[in-house]
C-alpha cells in the first residue's frame, strides 16, 4: 500500500511541477517586446496609470527643436520605451547636434533612475561610443535601445555590458 501511495505522490508532484513550469513560461510570454509586431498591435489586459497623472518630467532628447525645425515642424523620431526592472528605470538620452545629413553627430546613452523617497533620481548615466549610421535620406528616426536579461545584465549598443547586481 505504501508503494501505491508513493506512485500517486510522484504523479501528483510531476503534475504540480509541470504546471508551475508551464505557468512560468506563459508569464514570460505575457508582454512581448517591440509592441508584438511592426503594426504595434500588442495589448495587455491590465490598467495603467491615468494619462493625465504626470509623476515626473524628464528631457531625454534636447535636440527636438532642431529636429523639428529641419523637418517642416515634424518630429521624425522613434524612442526607446523606458525599461523598468523592479525599482530600476532605464531611459535613453540624446545629446550632441542634429544634422539631417549625418546622424553620427548625435550622442546616445542611457540614464538609470530610481524613485527614492518620492523623488525620481538619476542614479547613473552612460554615454555610448556608438555612432548612428546614415542620414535622414536613408531612413528617419534612428534609435539606440537597451535590452535586459533576467540575470540583472543590461546591454546597450557599443561595448557596454552592465551588471548591476
Domain range annotation of the chain: 60-163
Tell me the three cell numbers of residue 17: 511541477
Q: Residue 101: pLDDT above 80?
A: yes
List all residues 6 or more positions away from 44 whose beta carbon is below 8 Å from its beta carbon: 30, 31
Mean pLDDT of the chain: 74
pTM of the model: 0.62
Residue range 78-99, pLDDT digits in tens: 788 888 888 888 888 989 999 9
Q: How far apart are CA 103 and CA 161, in angstroms?
A: 24
The percent of residues in the chain predicted with pLDDT above 90, rounded, is 18
Q: Are 163 and 126 in contact (CB under 8 A)?
A: no
Amino acid at each position: 500500500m505504501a508503494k501505491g501511495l508513493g506512485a500517486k505522490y510522484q504523479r501528483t508532484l510531476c503534475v504540480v511541477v509541470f504546471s508551475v513550469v508551464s505557468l512560468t513560461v506563459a508569464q514570460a510570454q505575457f508582454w512581448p517586446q517591440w509592441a508584438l509586431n511592426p503594426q504595434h498591435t500588442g495589448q495587455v489586459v491590465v490598467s495603467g496609470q491615468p494619462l493625465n497623472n504626470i509623476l515626473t518630467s524628464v528631457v531625454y532628447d534636447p535636440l527636438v527643436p532642431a529636429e523639428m525645425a529641419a523637418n517642416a515642424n515634424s518630429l521624425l523620431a522613434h524612442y526607446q520605451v523606458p525599461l523598468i526592472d523592479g525599482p530600476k528605470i532605464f531611459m535613453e538620452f540624446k545629446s550632441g547636434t542634429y544634422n539631417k545629413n549625418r546622424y553620427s553627430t548625435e550622442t546616445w546613452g542611457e540614464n538609470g533612475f530610481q524613485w527614492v523617497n518620492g523623488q525620481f533620481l538619476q542614479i547613473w548615466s552612460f554615454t555610448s561610443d556608438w555612432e548612428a549610421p546614415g542620414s535622414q535620406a536613408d531612413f528617419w528616426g534612428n534609435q539606440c535601445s537597451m535590452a535586459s536579461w533576467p540575470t540583472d545584465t543590461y546591454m546597450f549598443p557599443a561595448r557596454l555590458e552592465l551588471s548591476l547586481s
